[in-house]
Amino acid sequence: MSDPNPKRRRKSEQEPEITWTHIPRIEPGVYPAYSRSARIVRDGYYKRWYCAVQFDVLSDDLAEVLAELTLFLNMGDAEKPHAGRRGNYWQAWITANGGPPQRKDRLSPRVFTRRQARVSIGDTTKNFKQAPVAAYSVVRHVVRWETGGGR
């Protein structure tokens, strides 16, 4: 029989700490935001590439961070990330850059980082299997960039 007092249990008998990622919910709408970072990631489950742009969603007076949310931009399922002309990465990059790439441009995700923007926030109510889940907020798209831009 095991000891009911967990403090007396040996480390090997204790349950592991289970972590999870809290994704906040704020009212859908258009908000000011600051893009902290952007990076290209390979999704092992879906076997595809995406760019994750991390935003601090701000109050209208820019004094308070209401939520930390991510914009996901699909980059295909090829061996390497690809920005197709009909893809959302391509369109988002052109908007952030202030125009299409020049021949020498490499479409770096740095164009999204450390900038002020207005973002559209919406709710997600289904998971990746289309099963219902408790609503949480997502960045749907960048309405406009307020700072920076390549042109």
pLDDT digits (tens, 9 = 90+) for 119-136: 999 998 888 788 888 888
Does residue 100 fall inside a structural domain? yes
Supply the pLDDT for residue 120.
97
Count of the separate structural domains present in the chain: 1
Query: Which residue range(s) make up the domain with 50?
Result: 22-145
Of residues 8 and 17, the one with the higher pLDDT is: 17
Domain membership of residue 103 (yes or no) is: yes
CATH of the domain at 54: 2.40.50
Kindly state whether residue 32 falls inside one of the protein's structural domains.
yes
Give the tokens for residue 50: 């995406």
CA distances from 139 to 10, 27, 31, 118, 119 (A): 45, 12, 10, 10, 7
In a domain, 112, yes or no: yes
71 part of a folded domain: yes
Average pLDDT over residues 57-80: 94
Q: What mean pLDDT, rounded, does the chain reach?
A: 88
Whether residue 147 is predicted with pLDDT greater than 60 in this model: the reply is: yes
- Inside any domain, residue 89: yes
